[in-house]
Amino acid sequence: MLASTDLETAQSLLSQAYLPSTFTSPVRAPSLDVRLNVIKIGRDQKSHLRVEDDSVSRMHAVIEAKPEEIQIIDLGSGKGRTLLMASEYPFRRILGVELLPSLHEIALENLKKYSSQTQRCFAIESLCEDARCFQFPPEPAVVYLFNPLPEEGLATAMRNLESSLREHPREVYVLYQNPVLRHVLDSTASLRYVASAQYYLLYKSNCT
């Protein structure tokens, strides 16, 4: 089973990120305990992520943390903020894809300069590429989206992910922060909605 590190990353991100601009006050998102190795999702009161939907069972999913097996892909990685935050966890690999050369260059500088005694992942790569053309590596992954693309672009990226999943069925989670275009992910047949917290949604590939 793929890890809850996506949730840990989300927690880490959400606890540090300001709310999207559609919100007016700088409230911070609530937190999960990032030390958890197992995250329970469901209607049960004791779930770590409670989903209040009758179609969801009391214990809908249990996600175990195995960060060393996971690669994180940040589509629209900007100056590398998320790449560096994720590097505090022992992920197998962290990959960023940024369209704008100017931001990509800053990300490269930031990756070079970053110094943290608690850094756990050093396999970090930032690519200057259009996320709409990105070829997903054929391995399990957590794809992080901080609302990087307009509707058509997001649909294209999700179609690419679907063809990649058809060719290489595997566990892929999509963690979508500030999910203003959630209908695009909801209508992506190879993904299913798993859970949400205040400012993000989590989807998982259907093929496993």
Ligand X SMILES: C[S@@+](CC[C@H](N)C(=O)[O-])C[C@H]1O[C@@H](n2cnc3c(N)ncnc32)[C@H](O)[C@@H]1O
Which residue ranges make up the site for ligand X (CB under 6 A)? Answer: 74, 76-78, 81-82, 97-100, 103, 130-132, 146-149, 153
Closer residue to ligand X (CB): 18 or 166 = 18
Nearer to ligand X, 67 or 153 (CB): 153
Map tokens 């609530």 to a residue: 30
- Residue 135 C-beta: closest distance to ligand X, Å: 13
Supply 108's token pair.
């490269």
Residue 50 C-beta: closest distance to ligand X, Å = 25
**Is the Cβ of residue 146 or residue 176 nearer to ligand X in the bound state?**
146
- Please check whether residue 157 is in contact with residue 134, taking contact to mean a CB–CB distance below 8 angstroms: yes
d(CA 200, CA 139): 23
Least distance (Å) from ligand X to the CB of residue 186? 21
Which residue number has the CB closest to ligand X? 76
**What is the CB neighbour count within 10 angstroms for residue 133?**
10
Q: For the chain, report the end-to-end CA distance as a whole number of angstroms.
A: 9
Minimum CB distance to ligand X smaller for 6 or for 40: 6
Strands across the sheet containing 124-128: 124-128, 93-98, 71-75, 141-146, 172-177, 200-205, 191-197
Smallest distance from ligand X to CB 101, Å: 10
CB of 195 to ligand X, least distance (A): 20
- Indicate the DSSP class of residue 16: H
- Cβ distance to ligand X smaller for residue 99 or 202: 99
